[in-house]
Amino acid sequence: MVEHLTDAATYPLLHQTLLLAEAAFTVLFTLEYLLRWYASPNRWRYPFALHALVDLIAILPSILMFAHVLGIGSEFLVLRTVRLLRTLRLLRLLRLLRILRHGYSVYRLAVIVRIWTTAIVYQYRLGRVARLLLLSVLAWVAGANVLHLIERVSENPTHPSPYAADYWETYWGVIVFIISGMDAPEPVSLGARVVVTTLLVAGICIVAVFTGEVVSILVRTEQRRGRMALKPPGLKLAEHVVILGRNDHLERIIHQIHRAFGGRHYILVVCEDAETLPSPGPLTHRRVFALQGNPARDDVLDAANIEDARRVIVLSGDAGKATPSERDDVALMHALAAVARNRAIPLVVELQEPESLRYASSIKTADCLVSRHFGEMLMSQSVHNGGVAEIYDELMTFSADTSEFYRVRVPSQLVGKTFRQAQELFLDLDTESIVPVGIDGPGAHAYRDFRLCVADGTGRASLADHVLTESDHLIVCAFDRPSFDTSKPEMAWHEIPRS
């Protein structure tokens, strides 16, 4: 593309610099090509692979050029071939398609950047500020050109105008008129004075509006300090966690969800008093948005992008505003509204009364939790075994220093083995601490047909003698989600994909 600059007689220094750069890149890519050829599993087939041919085409023009410099080959043939192959160098850009191997990571990064920029634009009203700046630039350019044209047409030799002689001086004068209106030369013609007067009035309006916007942004930022960020109207979320409703333990739930997903997914809280929700803290603030509105309304659920959500959590209301039964009715209404939009989405519904469970039985994808019922069972366990409450609290809390329960596929080498043999295998595993506690049946919905490591009392064989199959899933307790050790490929397994 810079062949006209490579003339040694006209540009000797540039010619030498480009020649050295060409030589350096040629040596670098030639070494890369040779090393890839040497490291290839099949060296006979490597030169004929598509990416190898692309690499060869990229370095061949320079090799032919330097061969011509050394006096090898016909000048006409070499130069023609070099020009042709230089155009084919663009094929090396196809190597960039290898980035598609990391497509999901690139997609996640693009989503994070898009959400962050949209939130910043909405929070600081950068769209209105950008439109105001664009209007100012248009007034500046148009006013400068009109002023220069009028002064040139009506130029008076006895009273020369500075705006008629110097085109760029007109731009400086107009920007002074728009911003301050002082210390600028006076135009000569009547038409130019009308234009300048119009620009002065427009400048006063633009500066006033811009000042008002800045003050409004500062005031709104101060008012929203310490509160949850509101979801921008045009922001589209996906694979996020939606929380319908609020109560006194909303902040703790947000922290637990954030830790459970490792901070990889956004959290959206939908309630009627979203404007007043406090910020969950600096660690989770950037991953949490609030949406104002009734969670049972279709337009609010549309704005929440509930069809693309990963999970939906329905919370019962505050204790002081209604009776437990009334709070359960509202929670079930919100759950039904979410299911009507997406029947396959997993829900977790918080209830207050055990009697409300019969009304929630029709929601097949919902896990209903009665907090009082769990508290009663934990109390009886604590009475029988002192200190067991601390153990439950440790197991049920997501943090960086606790073990959790995970549901994983049965490793291939354990298919056909008993559950006791699986326990022995994990006991000998030195790379990570894994304790199998039970098995779960097949299917995408977890913990629907699970058994713990005790006899079930129905005459069936105990879980220790259960023969594992490919459709089974292990319930394990581990510090992190179990992952295979690369030094022991026989321990590989993968998490069940979400349907």
49 or 73, which is more confident: 49
Is residue 243 predicted with pLDDT exceeding 90?
A: yes
- The per-residue pLDDT for range 349-386, each reduced to its tens digit, is 888 888 888 877 777 778 887 877 777 777 877 787 77
In a domain, 118, yes or no: no
Phi, psi of 440 (to 5 degrees): -130, 150
Supply the pLDDT for residue 49: 82
- Tell me: do 88 and 145 sit in the same domain: no
Q: State both tokens at 259.
A: 């830790």
What integer is the mean pLDDT of 446-467? 63
Residue 265 lies in a domain: yes
Residues of the domain holding 45: 3-100
**Can you tell me the mean pLDDT for 406-416?**
82
pLDDT (mean) for 303-322: 84
From 32, 38, 45, 34, select the one nearest 95 (Cα to Cα). Answer: 32
- Supply the mean pLDDT for the chain: 77
In a domain? residue 380: no
Instruction: Using the structure block, give the residue that is written with the tokens 């008076």.
Output: 156
Considering the domain boundaries, does residue 497 fall inside one? no
Split into its structural domains, the chain has a count of: 4
Q: Answer yes or no: is 280 within a domain.
A: yes
Query: Against a cut of 0.85, is the pTM above it?
Result: no
User: What CATH code is carried by the domain that includes residue 429?
Assistant: 3.30.70
Domain annotation covers residue 214: yes
For 81-134, the pLDDT digits (tens) are 555 555 555 555 555 555 555 666 777 777 788 888 888 888 888 888 888 888
Question: 251 and 356: one domain?
Answer: yes
Q: Where are the alpha helices (DSSP H) in 243-368?
A: 250-260, 298-303, 324-341, 357-360
> Does residue 120 form part of some domain?
no
* Last residue of one domain, picked from the residues 223, 256, 291: 223
Determine phi and psi for 242, rounding to 5 degrees: -105, 130
Whether residues 368 and 408 fall in one domain: no
Q: How far apart are CA 404 and CA 397, in angstroms?
A: 8
Co-location of 246 and 217 in the same domain: no
Residue 265 has pLDDT above 60, yes or no: yes
With a cut of 80, say whether residue 499 has pLDDT above it. no
Boundary-marking domain end, from 100, 118, 140 = 100
In this predicted structure, what is the pLDDT of residue 442? 73
Q: Are residues 282 and 254 part of one domain?
A: yes
Residues 345 and 246 in one domain: yes
Report residue 490's pLDDT band, with 50, 70 and 90 as the boundaries. Answer: very low
Task: With beta carbons less than 8 A apart as the criterion, state whether 395 and 435 touch.
Answer: no
194 and 79 within one domain = no
Q: For residue 113, is it within any domain?
A: no
pLDDT at 136 (0 to 100): 87
Q: Are residues 365 and 407 in the same domain?
A: no
Longest dimension (CA), the chain: 117
340 and 289 within one domain:
yes
Looking at the structure, do residues 10 and 76 belong to the same domain, yes or no? yes
Last residue of a domain, one of 338, 360, 375: 375
Higher pLDDT, 189 or 184: 189
Q: pLDDT band for position 494 (50/70/90)?
A: very low
User: Looking at the structure, do residues 84 and 203 belong to the same domain, yes or no?
Assistant: no
The band of 343, judged by pLDDT with boundaries at 50, 70 and 90, is confident
**CATH no. for residue 217?**
1.10.287.70
Residue 348 and residue 254 in one domain: yes
